[in-house]
Amino acid sequence: MFDLIIIGGGMAGMTSAIYALRESKKVLVLEKESIGGQITQSPKVQNYPSFAEISGSELADKTFEQMLALGAEFEVEDVQKIEKENKIFKVTTDYNTYQAKAIVLATGMKHRTLGLAEEEKFVGRGVYYCAICDGPFFAGQEVSVIGGGNSALQFAIMLSGYCSKVHMFVRSSACSGEQALVDKVKNTSNIEIVYGASAVALNGDDTLASITFKRVDGSTFEHETKAVFVAVGQVPNNKMFENLVELDKYGYVVADENCKTSCDGVFAAGDCRVKSVRQVATAIGDGATAATFACRYIDLN
């Protein structure tokens, strides 16, 4: 029996473990892939307090080492189901079944990719999914954005503030985001929008050099760029929890400011929950909050 089982080994989940372990709780962290989550895709992190610059992988490794040193148990297993009976949670994975007094959901989310053959190769080497994180590295340079929704529009506006030019490529004949954002983009002189263009290939050797686009009429053209910010949607990893906690219409866990969900004893931290800002700093804040209130719940039940 564990006091707390944390689903997800990203920065939110590992921070939750550290805080719970410091409260002398017995903690198990379950991660289906690898530690660190999305932060490991960032070759340079420059917005994390205490480090002027650190790679995402190194930051994750340091946090993982700290968590293990405090006594966390860690397993690479895929959670299949969580059930609650008489205040005890049963967590079933692809290998084992565990019990706990409380749960922290820290499953994160994934940026929807373009689905192109070379995309994974160029991640961090020309292909990026977060303008807040990686945009400043291209100050004074020309960059590209793929997408036509709110995220893409916000990326373009943000990048236009410090990049010399932003080339925005929209698959359909119009942007699908809020009209106020569309108007702002159209009225920003260094943003150029190309409609009816679908990315079909990413080109380059070790780093991105250009993107091949296909027009509606079937013709193709190549656009040279060293950086493209992909904003074609996000996918939370919460489908399996829909019968346990309330999800919003996009699949994110609904949780209050204390990270409490609709199910007593279940807390949510990081990108998997409904929130406005998804950054490593806010994930860590969520992790600390979720663990603190999870420990209070455990102590009172």
- What CATH number corresponds to the domain at position 286? 3.50.50.60
154 and 78 within one domain:
no
Same domain assignment for residues 240 and 195: no
Q: Which residue has the tokens 């919003």?
A: 248
Q: Is the pLDDT of residue 33 over 90?
A: no
Are 129 and 84 found together in one domain?
no
- To 10 degrees, what angle do helices 56-69 and 11-21 make? 20
Q: What percent of the chain has pLDDT over 70?
A: 99
pLDDT at 139: 96
Query: To which residue do tokens 């969580």 refer?
Result: 82
User: At which of 212, 230, 248 does a domain end?
Assistant: 230
Given 174, 207, 230, the domain boundary residue is 230
pLDDT band for 109, please (50, 70, 90 cuts): confident
Q: Quick one: pLDDT at residue 44?
A: 73
Q: Are 199 and 251 in the same domain?
A: no
- Put simply, whether the predicted model's pTM sits higher than 0.75 gets the answer no
Which of 34-38, 98-102, 196-200, 263-267 has the weakest average pLDDT?
A: 34-38
Instruction: Answer yes or no: is pLDDT of 46 > 90.
Output: no
Same-domain pairing of 106 and 242: yes
Domain end residue (candidates: 230, 256, 278) = 230
Determine the average pLDDT of the residues in 148-163: 92
Phi, psi at 264, each rounded to 5°: -55, 130
Q: By C-alpha distance, which of 9, 18, 275, 282 is closest to 133?
A: 282
The answer, yes or no, to whether residue 39 has pLDDT greater than 90, is no
Do 148 and 225 fall within a single domain? yes
Beta strands in 205-245 (DSSP E): 208-215, 220-224, 228-230, 234-236
Give percent above pLDDT 90 in the chain.
77
> Do 120 and 209 fall into the same domain?
yes
pLDDT for 80 equals: 93
What is the DSSP pairing of strand 191-195 with strand 165-170? parallel
* pLDDT of res. 71: 97
Instruction: For residues 260-285, give the mean pLDDT.
Output: 92
Question: Does pLDDT of 96 surpass 80?
Answer: yes
The helix-helix angle for 179-186 and 150-160 (nearest 10°) equals 30
Say yes or no: 165 and 202 in one domain.
Answer: yes
**Domain shared by 85 and 190, yes or no:** no
Q: Are both 191 and 159 inside the same structural domain?
A: yes
Same domain, 128 and 83: no
Residues 101 and 123 in one domain: no
Instruction: Report the pLDDT value the prediction gives residue 123, as an integer from 0 to 100.
Output: 92
Which tens digits make up the pLDDT trace of 159-177? 999 999 999 999 999 998 8
pLDDT tier for residue 103 given thresholds of 50, 70 and 90: very high
User: Which residues constitute the domain of residue 140?
Assistant: 113-230
| Average pLDDT of the residues in 16-36 | 95
Mean pLDDT, rounded, for 70-88: 95
pLDDT of 235 over the 90 cut? no
Q: Mean pLDDT for the chain?
A: 93
Dig out the tokens for 266 from the structure: 């279940």
Number of domains forming the structure of the chain: 2
